[in-house]
Amino acid sequence: MGDEMKPTPSEFFLKSSQDFLREFYAKIDEAVKRLDDKQIWWRPNPASNSIGNLLLHLAGNVRQHIIAGCGGKPDIRTRSKEFQLQFDEAQTPSKGMLMTNLEQTVSEACKVLADMSPYMLLEQREIQNKKVVIMQDIYHVVEHFSYHTGQIVMRTKEMTAEGFDWYQHLEGT
């Protein structure tokens, strides 16, 4: 074993958070590529969100909590608007626009996390009118991203009747 320095638990947490956000984004990207613009705005019923709404929601959540909350950028989010849009060819963002926005947001959030001092993790901030500890909030953002990734993947499977081969390496285990 060399003189390789092991990361501290805080550094490991920050790096793992970046890795998870990138991994979940890649799964969303693969799922959304299988759909057309009309499909990403489809809702099974008025109580459900479309994939388009979820893409807006994820970008808004990551921007508010990590980029603004941890990184100090202005909080420009209007959460309710993320759920109002429905498919209208003339006015609704395309899947390309939505994915570019989400990719840029994840990239910027990962940079904030990479540049963050591990000592900041126990600081408190006010996000969404609530006092939060930064480490818990990052944990929540990653969990939230994972949750909606699962919804997007499930909805894609329902619409395309196709699976994903992410876990092929587990066949026969």
Does 90 or 166 have the greater pLDDT score?
166
Q: Give residue-wise pLDDT tens across range 63-92.
A: 999 999 999 998 887 777 867 766 455 578
* Residue range 103-117: mean pLDDT, rounded: 97
Superfamily of domain 9-160: dinb family like domain (1.20.120.450)
Neighbours of 123 (CB within 10 A): 12
Say if residue 119 is exposed, middle or buried (CB neighbours under 10 Å; 0-12, 13-18, 19+).
exposed
DSSP 3-state assignment of 114?
A: helix
Q: Give residue-wise pLDDT tens across range 44-61.
A: 888 899 999 999 999 999
Q: How confident is the model at residue 158 (pLDDT cuts 50, 70, 90)?
A: very high
Q: Which two tokens stand for residue 37?
A: 């613009």
Query: In terms of Cα–Cα distance, which of 114, 131, 119 is closest to 15?
Result: 114
Q: What is the mean pLDDT of the chain?
A: 91
Phi, psi of 97 (to 5 degrees): -65, -45
pTM of the model: 0.90
Question: Which range, of 18-32, 48-62, 84-98, 123-137, averages the lowest pLDDT?
Answer: 84-98
103: CB partners within 8 A, 6+ apart: 25, 29
Domain ranges of the chain: 9-160
Quick check: 156 pLDDT over 60?
Answer: yes
Residue 89: per-residue pLDDT = 54
Neighbours of 82 (CB within 10 A): 19
